[in-house]
Structure 1
Amino acid sequence: MFFGLTIEKLLVIGVIAALLIGPERLPRYAETLAHLTTRTRDFLRNAKTRVQDEMGEEFEDVDWRTLDPRRYDPRRIIREALLDDAPVPTVRAASAGAAIEATGTPPPPPGAIRGFAPNETPPFDGEAT
């Protein structure tokens, strides 16, 4: 099967194309199709060779079946992600925990707008544009 087309369907499409194109132009179109098919096959063969040359010995180690999108199963991916170990706390999370312990209130989230007291002057950078 070729992209879901069977031989019978391809034969019907070929007969309809032959009737629409006509017997005068059919040999020229068939020759063009054969030339295009040959060029496409050569291009794909050269692309495979280039990929093998670029990847080197690692190309033989790749399991291409695992990269097949038809094998994508979101349930399996989620299950594996949930079974992984818990993420390691980052430095930012550790420092936020220390700030909560010291002051009793959590620090504002990054990018939060901080209010100023009525007599407090906001910072100003004269070199900023």
Structure 2
Amino acid sequence: MFDINGGELIVLFVVAALVIGPQRLPAYAEQLAVLVRRGREWISQARTRLDEETGDLGVDWEALDPRKYDPRRIVRDALLDEPSTARRAAASAVVGIPPAASAPLVGPAPYDDEAT
């Protein structure tokens, strides 16, 4: 946000100490500590209120973590997942395929070596 590294921060503190002076520095440090405490309390209250208002949404946030996203696993699970008979019957009724013909194929997918 401010793009200040550690060395620049120390220089800012030294300049602030020189400008403020040794007499007023403890009072300003105390005000800064109070401000930081109030900010932490405000953030904590905001988190608590947000959790109370949203409640349990039934979302598994760990499963949606992008660091755990593996497209190969998702495709493999989707291809190996056996659809339920109700979904298979509903899908065959929509498409117009007889239920016997809508059985899942067994074996590898056909390969066309002339396809581009």
**TM-score, normalised via structure 1 length:** 0.44
The structure showing larger relative contact order (alpha-carbon pairs under 8 Å, at least 6 residues apart) is 2
